[in-house]
């Protein structure tokens, strides 16, 4: 196991985390921004007004992209497990 191999695996793992969490976090960020601008314009400062649309948005993203994200995570895990014999050498 060389330093390059470890860095490659760490880079792939971080990319996978970004790939899996990115869509849900992006939608939550976008919804939060839109609701915050709306709250600033109409001057209603209610926390539930910001929370409920984010939960619904993240749920919809997970519902729509769940199978794609799960397949990506499974492929990454299979690739990682297939590299275990290379670690022993």
If you write DSSP's letter for every residue of 21-40 in order, what string do you get? HHHHHHHHHHHHHHHHHHHH
* Cα–Cα distance list, 59 to 14, 19, 49, 65, 70 (Å): 23, 16, 16, 10, 15
**HSE (CB half, 13 Å, CA atoms) of 78?**
6
pLDDT at 23: 95
**Ordered mean pLDDT values, 10 residues apiece, the chain (89 residues):** 85 95 96 90 81 93 95 95 82
Buried b or exposed e, range 51-75, using 16+ CB within 10 angstroms: eebbeebbeebeeebeeebeeeeee
């Amino acid at each position: 196991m060389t330093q390059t191999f470890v860095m490659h695996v760490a880079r792939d793992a971080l990319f996978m985390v970004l790939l899996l969490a990115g869509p849900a976090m992006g939608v939550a960020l976008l919804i939060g921004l839109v609701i915050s601008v709306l709250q600033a314009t109409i001057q209603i400062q209610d926390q539930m007004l910001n929370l409920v649309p984010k939960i619904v948005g993240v749920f919809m993203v997970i519902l729509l992209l769940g199978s794609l994200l799960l397949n990506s995570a499974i492929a990454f895990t299979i690739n990682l497990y297939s590299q275990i014999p290379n670690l022993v050498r």
